[in-house]
Amino acid sequence: MNDLPESVMSGWQVPAYRREIWLGRTARSCVVIPVINEGTRIASLLARMKACGIPDLADILIVDGGSTDGSLGGEMLSANGVRGVLVKTGPGKLSSQLRCAYAHALGAGYEGIVTIDGNDKDDPAVIPRFLEALQSGQDFVQASRFIPGGIAENTPIIRSIAIRCIHAPLTRLASGFGWTDTTQGFRAYSRRMLLDPRVAPFRDEFATYELLAYLSVRCPRLGFRCLELPSARRYPASGKTPTKISAVRGNLRVLGILLQACLGGFNPPAHSDRSRPKT
């Protein structure tokens, strides 16, 4: 299934994974959904995506970090148009899952990749706009609940303050682009951006949340076309907040990763960030 030459993939570091389900590529773009023990939330998200007609526009690819809750039943996946399920068996967390999925997607020939979290907090009705933006030449499309038309519902107050007063301002300063919602995993990337050796996302140092922060800083500095689109992110009004980031230690780690990205700590050593992509 791999249509990439060995010279392109040379040096890629991709965690071990297995293809639990792979029905082949039928669309120009795919939607990658990282999950781990999402319970009923993943079934709800997939049903909402089907209701929006997403399986008719893009192939749906789930990348599982090692779920043990039985939430990825085969009949449910088939009924909602899922074309692939990858199971990461190597080390790492979110960024490792994404490296598995992106390597698979690029090898399968997809021109664009949309990523949406599997915890059902985001509105999949925005996905067609992401796909349109990629097809019109955008390289990096980011969802934002904080721009006109966006909705932030029941966002924990500490998280909202941290994003709007610390994370987003630092990312704007380091990247030169006006990002407003920089911890969002709901985003889209072009093939040419992910394959650019000055970006080089397939490295083992991207294991937890590093890849999200790094791409938000690195890609605008390289001159790739970036865009924010309004979206809704809704947290439950009561009960446990669906997140994998712990309140204190996890958020401190996210801040440390951001500072490292802003200071160029993840940049490929062989490539300057002053050069521009070919058009």
Domain tally, the chain: 1
Q: How confident is the model at residue 245 (pLDDT cuts 50, 70, 90)?
A: low
**Is residue 168 a contact partner of residue 184, using CB atoms and an 8 Å limit?**
no
By residue range, what is the domain housing residue 244?
6-262
Report the CATH number at residue 103.
3.90.550.10
Q: What token pair was written down for 111?
A: 């021109």
The verdict on residue 130 lying in a domain is: yes
The verdict on residue 267 lying in a domain is: no
- The alpha carbon dihedral of 262, 164, 239, 46 has a sign of negative
The pLDDT score that the predictor gives to residue 278 is: 46
Residue 5's CB: how many other CB atoms inside 10 A? 8
The verdict on residue 272 lying in a domain is: no
Q: How confident is the model at residue 247 (pLDDT cuts 50, 70, 90)?
A: low
The pLDDT score that the predictor gives to residue 132 is: 98
The verdict on residue 33 lying in a domain is: yes
**Is residue 82 a contact partner of residue 13, using CB atoms and an 8 Å limit?**
no
**Which whole number is the average pLDDT over 117-131?**
98
Mean pLDDT of the chain: 93
Q: What token pair was written down for 100?
A: 């598995």
The pLDDT score that the predictor gives to residue 4 is: 87
| Amino acid letter, residue 154 | N
Three-state DSSP at 77 gives helix
**Which whole number is the average pLDDT over 172-189?**
97
Give the whole-angstrom CA distance, residue 132 versus residue 58: 11
Q: How confident is the model at residue 72 (pLDDT cuts 50, 70, 90)?
A: very high
The verdict on residue 196 lying in a domain is: yes
The verdict on residue 106 lying in a domain is: yes
**DSSP code of residue 226:** E
The verdict on residue 270 lying in a domain is: no
Please tell me the pTM assigned to this model.
0.92
The pLDDT score that the predictor gives to residue 1 is: 59
**Is residue 81 a contact partner of residue 127, using CB atoms and an 8 Å limit?**
no
**DSSP code of residue 154:** S
The answer to whether residue 90 scores a pLDDT higher than 80 is yes
- State how far the alpha carbon of 83 is from the alpha carbons of 3, 20, 62, 237, in Å: 18, 10, 8, 33
What tens digit of pLDDT does each residue of 27-54 get? 999 999 999 999 999 999 999 999 999 9
The verdict on residue 275 lying in a domain is: no
The pLDDT score that the predictor gives to residue 159 is: 87
| Amino acid letter, residue 52 | C
